[in-house]
Structure 1
Amino acid sequence: MADKVVEAFLGSLFGVRQLLDEIATDAPVKKLKAESQPSTSNIFNFIPTLANPFESRIKDLLKNLDYLAEQKDVLELKNETRVGKEIRVSSKPLERLPTSYLVDAYGIFGRDNDKDEMIKTLLSNNGSSNQTPIISIVGLGGMGKTTFAKLVYNHNMIKEHFELKSWVYVSEYFDVVGLTKAILKSFNSSADGEDLNLLQHELQHILTRKKYFLVLDDIWNGNAERWEQVLLPFNHGSSGSKIIVTTREKESVCEYPILESIGRKILNMCGGLPLAIKSLGQHLRKKFSQDEWMKILETDMWRLSDRDHSINSVLRLSYHNLPSSLKCCFAYCSIFPKGYRFKKDELIKLWMAEGNQLADLPSNFSKLINLRHLELPYVTKIPTHIGKLENLRALPYFFVEKQKGYDLKELKKLNHLQGKIYIEGLGNVIDPTDAVTANLKDKKYLEELHMNFCDRIEEMDESIVESNVSVLEALQPNRNLKRLTISRYKGNSFPNWLRGCHLPNLVSLELRSCEICSLLPPLGQLPFLKELRISDCNGIKIIGKEFYGNNSIIVPFRSLEVLKFEQLENWEEWLFIEEFPLLKELEIRNCPKLKRALPQHLPSLEKLKIWDMKAFW
């Protein structure tokens, strides 16, 4: 009787959760539909709302729950007080005394062979695996699991083999913090406070590089998530460490071969996806009857065609078991195209921004004055008045449209921008004062800047050259900048700020497709520059003393470790004024006119690559 009532109770709870999920999904959809309708139709939209489509189901669920609540005496249910960080409502526990590792070995008979086999297993090595083996002693209550574990635990060979030994009684009820504290105490360590992070850090410290033996006696609760959390610190001991658990058998052992056969069929359905296998495994480990496993095998989700769904059916099953809040986060990812590579931090920021990733942002977008993160990887039109979002912290891309070079001024007050930003279409900026107004110099939190002028092939004239020179000069970044890329630049000279006194913290620089510049800036004066790459700069014929700078006090390129020249089709000569004391990697590729001449003294060089050099040999 009690089992049937419990099953009905859990079934009703599941029904409640499913209904709440449907309501949570339905409400915003209806809201969006209502907002999209013209005002004249509001009276017609109002009428259907008087009939709640969920009303009858809610009444049925409440009726069932009221009935089941009256059955609590049948189940002997009671409210329990808070234990650790959990609240439990459970059946009355039997009075069970905690166990200890002490045992009277003289009263135990018939276990010698089993004992010897177990000791042999415990003394064996773990091989190359970092995972500590967990050995289960499974059986019904009263079968002698704990006594057998005591017999092994107290054997002299075990005492001599392990540096640390511990016996912990778990019982039917436990929380992760409480059990972690009990394990710490069993290793003679203090276990103060309730901070799980600190407790597990202390436990990990104790076990590191120690060969330990732990017995967890009388485990009832098989909650996978809890046990994964408990066992986190235990993979830092030395090879040979072992853990024994004693636990009660949930179902008859004779049923396991049948489950194995069903499990193999389910495994074939997973399509070799590790995530799908793990997700389904976590689901099945809580179910022990043949009927429950067959329900999973025969579910309709396996038969959904690719046309009907866009995710693996096993993951769909896992999705349906997620809490409502996590379902929203998971569903949000559907706005990205197939094959899109996620970055954890960026996705979290998008969740925080509550979904401003749209192809065409609304006209009143600028009213989101508290918005801090905006991801626009597929937007080619920057929202109007984006400059009003003065609290914005992340803006990875900014596009300057043709005929709208003045848009660059929208960056003026975005001085809280952090990380990196790609500014595309700078060739469309006509007036250098717009570049000055962009105020890059005051964006002290930016660490990485990519400036792309133009990727279109167009006829060059003097006005374009002069415009590019003036605009780039006006786009002086903050001195805190660490990484800089300049590409498709049509000017004939590099800016004056591209030197050590203006960019003292720069560690990486790339000059790409700056085709009509004939002289390189004094990059040797950048004190912390570690990586330098120059490519497709066909205006360069000679690299001489201007490259190193004329400061006699500073050693040129004193921090440079990687130097790459690629596709310099007109480069003929490299004049060496100074050596490169820390250079580890030098690469010269497809510079057909360069004559054979390399630095003579490169004390730190580890890698040299030279190819496609016709005049070099």
Structure 2
Amino acid sequence: MATKQVVGRDGDVSTVIDMLLSSDNTVDDLPVIAIVGMGGMGKTTLAQLVYNNEKVVKHFGDQRMWICVSDDFIVERLLNQMEQSLTRDKSEIENIEGIVRKLGEKLNGKKYLLVLDNVWNENLDKWECMRNSLLGIGGSRGSKIIATTRSVQVVSTMRTSPSLTHHLSQLSENESWTMFRKSAFANGGPTETPDLVAIGRKMMEECKGVPLAIKSLGGLMYSKKHFHEWGLIKNSEIWSTEIKEGIQPILRLSFDHLPSPYLKHCFAYCSIFPKNFNIRKDELIQLWMAQGYLQPSWGSNLEMEDVGNDYFNILLHNSLFQDVKLDEYKNITRCKMHDLVHDLALDVSENNCLDLTSIVGEVKYHPEVQHLSLDLMEETIFEIPKENVGKLMTLFFIENFPKNIAEVECIHTTSLVDYNGEELPSSLLKFIHLRYLDLSGSSIAIPPNFISKLYNLQTLRVPSFTCLKKLPKKFYKLVSS
């Protein structure tokens, strides 16, 4: 996030940097600086500003690592993510000792900074295992950890001292208005009249100084050009609900006012991705297209990709997407969803989407699931429940095919990113409705010939040409309609 987009956090940045750089003489070998605050307060944004600060970069050099932790505190996975953050290469070492040894070799005794973003773990044994592993890496004295969390209990579990704990406060009234005004009255939005300002300031009081709520509401009001539309939002039942649930009601308001049912489907579909996932914009639009969500209005000359681009921009302006990455031409290539927004997407998907990333026996599998993402422990055997076999339209997986994949026939989208098998099972030929197939990152050097018979295919993503040896026979028969 660009610094100019951040409002009211200069003092917080200075405070955390002082904590980080002035704690070298602490008796603790690996001190933890904790940033604490309710959801949507900007903890991750603050940590990013510190992480990329010139003083911090100079102090730690390239030995800076960022990990999005979220719900699953699995030490092996976190250590592998550390190595991936440090080397930019994927790491899949399965034992803690092996990962610690490799990290120690990479760091070579230099001090490091590790950011653990969005920590929920309150289990002391898990934290001690993680801490002992980090101490085993052998970085020099002066290595530090920054952790962001909503929970004071997490801070206690990590044994962070009060002097290294920063509680993120709400924005002031003036700061809140500045942030809202930037979104609501930006170029192309409504005219900033006294009447609209009065309504906007009244609604700002209900946002309680929470940045995500303010930006989301500002994005919504940007699309409302007339006084009566602002009045309808102001008089919404949502404001009669005490915001005891955090800011979810305000985010729900932004969703409820999305201009199209198809756009609402597009947003809900995003819950198939794990929390904190880097979503590729072009892939996302192709996935929406495969589900039939991108329908140009009658008489329009727009292509489906154009509609998808418009949908993406609306969700971004409403702060339902964030943390965008740009290419060298300033085009958006990636984005993320705030974890509260991800929770909203799961809620409005009405159990149609499931991201299954843990041991199968621990997951509540709902019979209405239509879109399924599998990232299970290696050698985990998974069978799609019978009540879902005829409903499943999306299937993402990495290691293992579901045991009964031959029974699934209504699939529209399949992704085998990072799939390690050398061949695809011939049962995929039954996926006659398949519109999207992603083999990128897989080790499949020669895609099977039956791909040429998937006549409904709109998008085929293949491995890089350094891995791909040849295309299937009669590949020319695949013509996009």
Of the two, which has the highest radius of gyration?
A: 1
Question: More relative contact order in 1 or in 2 (CA 8 Å, sep 6+)?
Answer: 2
TM-score under structure 2 length normalisation: 0.30
TM-score under structure 1 length normalisation: 0.23
